Structure formats: structure tokens, C-alpha cells
A and B are shown apart, each in its own frame.
Chain A
Amino acid sequence: MLLQPMGDTAVVVGFGNVIGATTLEKVRAATIALEANPPVGTLDIVPAFTTITVVYDPTLRGGYTAFQARLLACLKTVKRLRRGMVTTLTIPVCYGGEFGPDLGLVAQGAKLSERAAIASHTRPKYIVGAVGFAPGFPYLAGLPLKLHTPRRSNPRLKVPAGSVGIGGKQTGVYPQVSPGGWHLIGRTPLKLFNAEEVYPSLLKTGDQVQFKAITAEEFAAWT
């Protein structure tokens, strides 16, 4: 674990430079400890892949030195993750067709039938590496190698809300209509971001995600 100041208002807590389940478990465990007992002066806690950035009030007495000491004291209380501390969420997806216009292309790249590509995408347990880019957008780590597909050379100006995409080594879900360069393979009826909620994002960094294929009828009937 390495602490490094970022400007005069933040500290980056680093957990190495490998994106993966082990690192994300450490990030998750430390995030839980920090959120349960934030050091005095904490304004924001942003976990992402291999780091947690803690934004703090630079005008507090003692500045960085004092804040860093409080942060370290809190990080000493980090406990190992136990069952139940990590949420696993199943995301229903209607693959292909008008919801996933790029499924054919992704399957072709993987030398798979569309059905086999769907099976491959629904098999792993993904881990949320970070939530960002847009409110509630999860970057999911764990995409099978075969499905890795470079981003589109011409990004779409309007990706519909709920679209499930593949961009390079990652897969993710667009919570709201936005521009986007990922290949779209399906769509979920779930709402990933809701500004009315106290915690507006359905997913948090470190959560586990599994996709489940549903039919267009099931999609239409989803409430």
C-alpha cells in the first residue's frame, strides 16, 4: 500500500499495478473501512481498479501530514473481506438484434456463433473495477480473452440507456443515453443509476456481476 498526494486536496492510496480479483478485493476491503469510519476532513472516496483516491479539505489544521496520519490509522483497521461483504448482482440482458447491433461483429472476431458468444459473455463472474465515465457506468473486469474487441473507430453519438458493450478488454453497461465507442451486444432493462436514491449507483467498485440472457418478451415485461 502506497500513499501519494494528488494536488493539495487528495491522496491516492495505491494497491500495486495489476488489475485483478486479488487487488480489487483489497480495494473493496479498504473502501469499506474508509466509508465506515472516514478520517476527519474526508470529502470523497473514489475506488478504481488499483487505487482509492481520498479527497479532503486542504484547510484543516496540519494539512496533508495530519490527514495522511489519520488516513493511515483508519487503513490499519481494514479487515479481510468476508462472505456477504461483496454483493453479487445478476444483470438480465437481451442479446443481439436491435438491442445488440454489434453482437455479430464481436462473435465473428471471436470465431464463435452468436449463441456461443452470448454463452461466453454470461459465463464469468465479473468484478466492477470502477464506476465512472458517466454516472453509474461500471467497468467490468474478467471478460473472456476471445471476446476482447478493440473499440469502434467511429464512436456512436447516441448509445441507448441499458446498452451492454465491449470495449477492449472490458465490458460494461451504459446507464443513460450517451455517446460511446464500445461495441453493443445487448441491453438490460435494469436501471443502473437513479438520482432519487441516496446511493444513486446500482453497482459499486468491487461488486460481482453475472449476466443472464433473457428474451425480448422477458425484456418487454420487465418492471
Chain B
Amino acid sequence: MDIKVIRPGMLTTIQDLGRHGISGTGVTEGGAMDKFALVLANLLVGNAPNKPALEITLTGPELEFSSDALIAITGAEIDGFEHAQPIKVYAGDRLDLPVITRGCRAYLAVAGGLNVAPVLNGAGTDLRAKLGGFQGRALRAGDVLSANVVSRETHGRWKLSPTLLPAYSASPEVRVLPGSEVDEFAEIFWKTEFEISTQSDRMGYRLKGRQLKRKSSRELISSAAIPGTVQVPPEGNPIVLMADAQTLGGYPRIAHVAQIDMPLLAQLRAGDHVSFRRIELEEAQTLASQRMRDLNLLVMGLQDKLR
């Protein structure tokens, strides 16, 4: 089946759950910014959780389907389209996705998954290294994506329990763990509501609100940086590293975002706000495990609803 891109939207890329096993070579983890939403979109059309899907940023694309298909849209909400529900589209349909009104990134999965040749263990688009996804770049008008054809239908009337979704908000409180240099900064970090600046992208969000002064001038040796690391460069405005984070960093680390709350950050746009709350490692990992269990239960629950 072909999916033709009539209009690409602002930044539409193919993403999956990212690349693992080669961070030591400098290749970014990448993958969907909101990995929960990508998994959910896949599960809602009966796919395995890691199938490549579209990540849509702020303005939606217009897509033409050559065959009947079952799709699902998750993450950011798109007016006129059911959120987190399987949607039937028909051969020749043009799906015209408008501007995103709530959140920042929507995920569109197709039953059967997009057909993408993996590069370095992943199908996701690495925009900086120009590899993976569709020719290593964002979609353009005229591109034709290939998707596997499966005939799958949704049966009965059902709706996803909203309690399963992360508490998406334009001013979330994000749970973090302390970073190795947390004691070199004043407590003010924990009491500040930061704004997401316009210098924010898939690599990282630059925050503004309070400039954080480091008490120490100890030189740090660069070490691995990962998505979720909150680092503070000398000018004092913290940066939260996101999916396309560089693999090494030498700035002091004040905190690390708990895995469970990365989706909340992924849905923020410039001008939105965020504050941070410290939790313990055990709690963070319990929350991550609970979400995994919820998703496993969902897979079982969906078995007789998607055939």
C-alpha cells in the first residue's frame, strides 16, 4: 500500500523506539519524542509496539491512502480526528490533518506498519546524521511511503480508558532524579517554573526563567549524556536533553527526568511551562514498570477487539 504525501506539515518524520547498542559510536538514541504515544498508536491498530510510525509536529500533513487501512492517532490531539481510537480510512481517501491545537507531537500508526529498511538497528529518522526513516529526512510533498497491507477491523464499541494516558498539560510538573552536580546549585531550581524557549527542538529544550549559578568551578570530564539529562551550561539556563540528545556532554547535570514523564516534556512547545519535582529512584522505576504492565494489559484487552 502507498501513502502519498500531498502536504508534509511542519516537521513530519518516521520514528520508532530509537537506536540502542551503538551510542558508543556517537549515534544518537533518537526515535519518537513521545515513546509512550508511539507504542500506544501501534497497539491500537494491532501492531507490535516498535513499528515505525509518523511523528507529526505542530501542523499536520495531508496524506492520500491507496488502499483501505486502519490507523490511530495518539499524543497531541488533532481536531476532527478521534484521539487514541482506531480510525478506518478507505482507498483514495485524503486525510487532511490540521494544525495541532493541544500538545506538540502527534503519532500516526498504520495497521501493518510503515515499510522502512532499518539502518543501524532502527527505522527512525536521525535528522542530524541524515540517516534512517525516509531518506534520512523529514517528509516532503510528493514523497510516497510504503506500508504493509493487513486487513484488520475494530469490533464492538469501546474506548480507551483515559487513566491510561500520561497527564499531558501545557504546564506539567515533571518528576526527576537528582543529577551528579545537583549540590553545586542552589535550591531555586526546584521552585522555579521554567518556560520552554524557542531554541528547543528534538535534540533538547532550552529553558528560561531563572539563571542557575554554579557554586563550584571544578572542571568536569565529558561522559555519556542521555535523553532526560538536565544540564546547566555556564550562562545558567538549563537544557533538557531530548530524544536526539548528543551522546557525550561536559556540562554539570542538575537532574535527570524520570522515564515515566518524558512524554509530558515531548508534548510541550515553545512558550509552555514546566516545573520539576524530585522523586526517589525506586519510585521512578516502579512507575515505569506499572506503565509497562498497563500496556501489556491493553494488548490483551485489545486482542478480541482488533481482528
Contacts and interface: CB of A to CB of B under 8 A. Distances in A.
Contact of A55 (B23, B177, B246, B292): B23
Given A63-B281, A132-B26, A137-B26, A46 B224 contact: yes
Interface size class of A (residues with CB under 8 A): 35 or more
B288 A50 contact: no
B285 A10 contact: no
B129 interface: yes
Given A7-B256, A19-B221, A53-B223, A46 B284 contact: no
A206 B70 CA distance: 50
A7 B285 contact: no
Given A44-B20, A131-B24, A131-B26, A10 B224 contact: yes
Most buried by A among B23, B24, B292: B24
A10 B29 CA distance: 14
Nearest to B257: A7
B265 to A, nearest CB: 13
A46 B223 CA distance: 8
B119 interface: yes
Contacts, number: 135
B180 interface: yes
A167 interface: no
B288 A132 contact: no
A132 B24 CA distance: 7
Contacts of B131: 195
Nearest to B255: A7
Secondary structure class of chain B's binding surface, majority of residues: mixed
A60 B248 CA distance: 26
Contacts of A120: none
Contacts of B284: 7-8, 58
Most buried by A among B23, B27, B180, B224: B224
A135 B24 contact: no
Given A6-B180, A7-B229, A8-B281, A48 B222 contact: yes
A204 interface: yes
Most buried by A among B29, B129, B292: B129
B226 A10 contact: yes
A64 interface: yes
Contact of A44 (B23, B119, B248): B23
Contacts of B253: 6
Interface of B: 20-27, 29, 119-120, 128-129, 131, 177, 179-180, 221-224, 226, 228-229, 246-248, 253, 256-259, 281-282, 284-286, 288-289, 291-292
Given A19-B221, A46-B24, 5 more contacts: A7-B284, A58-B288, A59-B288, A130-B248, A135-B129
